[in-house]
Every structure is written in C-alpha cells, then in structure tokens.
C-alpha cells in the first residue's frame, strides 16, 4: 500500500462517524467547526457498509467543492462501531448490528478510492478527542471517557494520548467485572459493568423487577426508569442504587489504576442529569482511596451535535 503524504496547507478533514443505524460525514477544521455534512442510513444487512461510507464521503466532497472551489483536503478520519485494528485501520470485529462488516480493510479501501491519508479508530476513542478539544477534557492530560448507551464503551487518555494497546482494543472499560458472581455478559465475562450501567441493561433489569413483582410492563425504557426514579418510586430507586454502585465500583478501580484527573460520562444514561452525577460522585468517594480521589472531576460529556464525526476528523491533527 502506498503511503499518502499529509498536505500541510490543507485546512479540512472529512470526519466520518459509522454507527449501526447512521453514517454521518462532514467537513471539519482543526477547531472542530463543521462546514457541511451529510447523514445517511447505514442500511446494515441490506447494502455494503463500505459502499454507504464511500457514498457519504463522495457527497461531502461534492458539497465542499461547490461551496469552496479548490478545496484542499488533509485526509479522512473515521470513527467506527466495532473493534478496530488501529495500525491496519481494519475492522477486527463488529456486532451483529452490522453484518458482514468484520474483516473490512477500511483504511486501505478508502485510501485507494479517495487517494487521501485515512485514519480509522473506534467510535468511543474518537469521542475522547472531541472532549480534549471542545469538552470537559480541555487541558486534561490524563482522563477517561465512559459512553453509557446500548452498551458501555470506553476510551483512555494517558499523557495526552489515546491508549490503543497492542492492536487497538485498549479501553474496553465496560467489560471490567464489578461482581464476580454477577450477571453473565455477552463478552463471555461475568458481572461486567455493561450489564448494570448500559441503557439497555437498566431498562431490562427494571422490566425484570416489575415482572417479579407481578406488574409486568414491557414498554418500560431507560427514560421511564429515570422519570420513576426522579418521582421517588422505590423500585426505580432500588435499581438506580445498584446501577450507581456498579458505576462507582468500576470508576474507583479506574482511578486506582490510571490516576486520572477527570472521568467523562456520556451516552443516553448521562441524560439522567445532575442527580446521577451528584450521587455517582458520592458513590465513587465511598469506594476510593482519599489520596487518589483528591481533585478527580466526574463530568458530563460534550453535548454538541456531531461529536463522533468531529472526533473522527480530529485524528488527522493528532
């Protein structure tokens, strides 16, 4: 594979955020400003995901060339769902949400097609770059990000750099066990944080509790759990205390392992609001060495639009 040189005069990068349902692509500058973007349905399982990614990039380039004739691109940054072999820029594994995607040599394919330098990383890792530039991570050299959504994703920044590990899988913070005899996890582990703190698991555990109480309600989602919690309902409170204990236990472990100055929490569960953060800070304090906890901030993630797409582009300036 030919190596593509960076153009020092180029001001714009194409950032691409590849998810199970949507692909967002946009022109992004070094300040994280978005100048034109497109959003396409992934259509996973119906059409090739690579074809959809290429289509999104082609549309953004066409739009950029219309509004800025002579547009000079620095490269393409991709933040993708799945586990990414970071050096190769290939998809090492992907969930059943994107069939046929695992094994894709995405970096090679896109470099060949667009004749531009390409960097591919995991979608949560690139969110940490958005935090560094625009979010709570500004000025922080040692921090970690937890994305509490369908699953629990993580990213780890040490000495100002993302930690990739041997091939790019580092920072799977959702799959540390918070209960060695706990709920079996999809990863093969037992009692993983993801089984207690993802939006999916919060809703599932609430439905299980209601069924045990003889009040089955299959419509309950995460938002409903938070509404019941804020209304003071005891079942929702019991469930959220478990969730907070699991999160507090995991975060105390991260603090003892990595000595971060900041923990950033995003994803749908962070939408539970300030009460979640206030109680979580107390829970972490109960479980951490005071000397290690001193000065550690626990903050919500960047709330602006297109954080994943911006972070994907920012890789080219790292």
C-alpha span between 154 and 148 (Å, rounded): 9
Q: Minimum Å distance from CB 163 to Zn ion?
A: 19
Minimum distance, C-beta of residue 156 to Zn ion, in the bound complex (Å): 17
Q: Residue 107 CA to chain centroid, in angstroms?
A: 20
The angle formed by the CA atoms of residues 128, 221 and 79, to the nearest 5 degrees, is 25
Nearer to Zn ion, 111 or 198 (CB): 198
Nearer to Zn ion, 98 or 185 (CB): 185
* Exposure on the CB side of residue 269, measured as CA atoms within 13 A: 27
Given the complex with Zn ion, which of 72 and 187 has the nearer CB atom? Answer: 187
Report, in Å, the least distance between residue 182 CB and Zn ion.
10
DSSP structure class, residue 291:
H
**Residue carrying structure tokens 């041997």:** 166
How far apart, in whole angstroms, are the C-alpha atoms of residue 299 and residue 318? Answer: 23
Residue whose CB is less far from Zn ion, 182 or 300: 182
Q: Which is nearer to Zn ion, 185 or 202 (CB)?
A: 185
The nearest distance, CB 151 to Zn ion, in angstroms, is 9
d(CA 38, CA 299): 30
Based on CB atoms, which residue is closest to Zn ion, 121 or 172?
172
Q: Residue 143 CA to chain centroid, in angstroms? A: 14
* Ramachandran region, residue 245 (left: φ > 0; alpha: ψ -120 to 50; beta: rest): alpha
Please tell me the distance from the alpha carbon of residue 316 to that of residue 266, in angstroms, as a whole number. 23
CA atoms in the 13 A half-sphere facing the CB of 302: 24
Site residues for Zn ion per CB under 5 A: 175, 185, 187, 189, 192
Question: At its nearest, how many Å lie between Zn ion and the CB of residue 181?
Answer: 14
Torsion of Cα atoms, 26 then 30 then 35 then 39, to 10°: 20
Q: Which is nearer to Zn ion, 175 or 228 (CB)?
A: 175
**Which token pair is 315?**
């890789």
**Least distance in Å: CB of 190 to Zn ion?**
8
Q: Least distance in Å: CB of 194 to Zn ion?
A: 5
């Amino acid at each position: 594979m030919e190596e593509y040189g960076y153009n020092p005069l180029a001001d714009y990068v194409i950032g691409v955020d590849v998810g199970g349902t949507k692909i967002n692509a946009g022109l992004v500058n070094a300040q994280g400003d978005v100048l034109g973007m497109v959003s396409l349905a992934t259509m996973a399982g119906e059409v090739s995901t690579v074809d959809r990614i290429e289509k999104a990039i082609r549309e953004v380039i066409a739009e950029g060339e219309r509004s800025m004739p002579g547009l000079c691109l620095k490269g393409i940054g991709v933040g993708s769902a799945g586990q990414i072999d970071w050096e190769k820029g290939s998809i090492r594994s992907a969930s059943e949400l994107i069939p046929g995607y695992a094994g894709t040599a995405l970096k090679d394919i896109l470099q060949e097609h667009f004749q531009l330098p390409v960097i591919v990383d995991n979608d949560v890792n690139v969110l940490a770059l958005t935090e560094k530039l625009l979010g709570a991570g500004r000025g922080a050299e040692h921090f970690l990000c937890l994305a509490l959504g369908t699953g629990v994703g993580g990213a780890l920044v040490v000495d100002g750099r993302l930690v990739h590990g041997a091939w790019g899988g580092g920072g799977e913070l959702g799959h540390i066990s918070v209960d060695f005899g706990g709920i079996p996890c999809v990863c093969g582990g037992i009692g993983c944080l993801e089984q207690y703190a993802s939006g999916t698991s919060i809703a599932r555990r609430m439905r299980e509790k209601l069924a045990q109480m003889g009040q089955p309600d299959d419509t309950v989602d995460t938002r409903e759990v938070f509404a019941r919690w804020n209304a003071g309902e005891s079942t929702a409170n019991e469930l959220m205390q478990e969730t907070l204990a699991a999160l507090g236990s995991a975060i105390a472990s991260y603090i003892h392992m990595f000595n971060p100055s900041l923990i950033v929490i995003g994803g749908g569960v962070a939408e539970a609001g300030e009460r979640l953060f206030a109680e979580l800070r107390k829970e972490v304090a109960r479980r951490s060495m005071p000397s290690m906890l001193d000065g550690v901030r626990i903050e919500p993630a960047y709330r602006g639009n297109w954080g994943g797409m911006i972070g994907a582009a920012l890789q080219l300036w790292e």
